[in-house]
Amino acid sequence: MFSLMANCCSWLKRWREPVRKVTLVMVGLDNAGKTATVKGIQGESPEDVAPTVGFSKIDLKQGRFEVTIFDLGGGKRIRGIWKNYYAESYGVIFVVDSSDAERMEETKETMSEVLRHPRISGKPILVLANKQDKEGALAEADVIECLSLEKLVNEHKCLCQIEPCSAVMGYGKKIDKSIKKGLYWLLHIIAQDFDALYERIQKDTTEQKAYEEQEKRERAERVRKIREERYFFLCDFLFPEEKEIV
């Protein structure tokens, strides 16, 4: 009887918890398996996934969370856009191709750049050591060592969890349990510090919008000046005699 009452109280407490809207960014090098991972989480087959050009967005429900995940392209030319999504992000999912030892140094440098950004430092990060199904894939301990992961997350005060996984081994309810476990961990950590993260995100997004508006105005002013200079140049070229008369 006591156990039944305790279970009912626990269920009632969870039912009364507010639905929280959370945004996550999923990053990593090109070909790490980000899109396959996000497709699997969404319940779609991760097979034959095309590389992400720019970004893709998915929305899903996880318990009392309404989660938006931005799957950001990992090519060198596109990584510059990642920072545009940091302000609204509650946490990071960093996908690593654990079968590609030759790019581990590049992965380490990229992860360091992400974690040192002022709008990411201090936020939780889930590292998915993907492609464990591949022959020669690095084990969890080796990935940690290659990325100097402990040093990186301590330096930037980011709570971190690493999960060895394979995004192509299943999807939906049959998705790799490590991916499901990692996502649960990330949302649990966010829930524990939700109010502080929410306030930080409101501040960061307000500042970013103001910065973007300022950039937009400055860009419009530069365009106006260029057009004005071209106009006067054209006038001087077509009507040089009028300038001489003046």
Residue 4 is predicted with a pLDDT of 47
Name the token pair of 208: 């970013």
| HEC per residue, the chain | CHHHHHHHHHHHHHHHCCCEEEEEEEECCCCCCHHHHHHHHHCCCCCCCCCCCCEEEEEEEECCEEEEEEEECCCCCCHHHHHHHCCCCCEEEEEEECCCHHHHHHHHHHHHHHHHCCCCCCCCEEEEEECCCCCCCCCHHHHHHHHCHHHHHHHCCCCEEEEECCHHHCCHHHCCHHHHHHHHHHHHHHHHCHHHHHHHHHHHHHHHHHHHHHHHHHHHHHHHHHHHHHHHHHHHHHCHHHHHHC
- Give burial (CB, 10 Å; 0-12/13-18/19+) of 60: middle
Mean of pLDDT values over 218-240: 74
Where is pLDDT greater, at 6 or 30?
Answer: 30
Encode pLDDT of 38-74 as tens digits. Answer: 888 888 876 766 566 668 899 999 888 999 999 999 9
On whether 13 is known to bind a ligand per the annotation, the reply is no
Give the model's pLDDT for residue 11. Answer: 43
Q: Is the pLDDT of residue 237 over 70?
A: no
pLDDT score at 182: 96
pLDDT band for 222, please (50, 70, 90 cuts).
confident
* 177 labelled binding-site residue: no
CA angle 22–27–29, rounded 5-degree value: 170
216 is in an annotated binding site: no
Summary mean pLDDT of the chain = 87
How confident is residue 15, by pLDDT bands cut at 50, 70 and 90?
Answer: very low
In this structure, are residues 41 and 175 in contact, taking their beta carbons and an 8 Å threshold?
yes
**Residue 161, annotated as binding a ligand:** no
Judge whether 131 is annotated as a binding position.
yes
* Confidence tier at 219 by pLDDT (50, 70, 90): confident
- State whether the Cα torsion 196-197-202-208 is positive or negative: positive
Q: What is the pTM (predicted TM-score) of this model?
A: 0.82
The 20-27 sheet, strands edge to edge: 55-62, 65-72, 20-27, 91-97, 125-130, 160-164
Q: How far is CA 138 from CA 69, 113, 131, 158, in A?
A: 26, 22, 9, 23
pLDDT at 54: 67
- pLDDT category of residue 221 using cuts at 50, 70 and 90: confident
User: By mean pLDDT, which of 79-83, 171-175, 192-196, 204-208 is the weakest?
Assistant: 171-175
Q: Which of 21-35, 75-89, 213-227 has the lowest mean pLDDT?
A: 213-227
Q: According to the model, what pLDDT value does residue 48 have?
A: 62
Residue pLDDT, tens place only, 112-121: 999 999 999 9
7 is annotated as contributing to ligand binding: no
CA distance 85 to 163: 24
154 appears as a binding residue in the annotation: no
Would the annotation count 83 as a binding residue?
no
Percent of the chain scored above 90 by pLDDT? 63
Contacts of 227 (CB under 8 A, 6+ apart): none
Q: What is the pLDDT of residues 123-166, one digit of tens each?
A: 999 999 999 999 999 999 999 999 999 999 999 999 999 999 99
Residue with more model confidence, 62 or 232: 62
**Residue 244: predicted pLDDT:** 54
pLDDT bucket at 1, cuts 50 / 70 / 90: very low
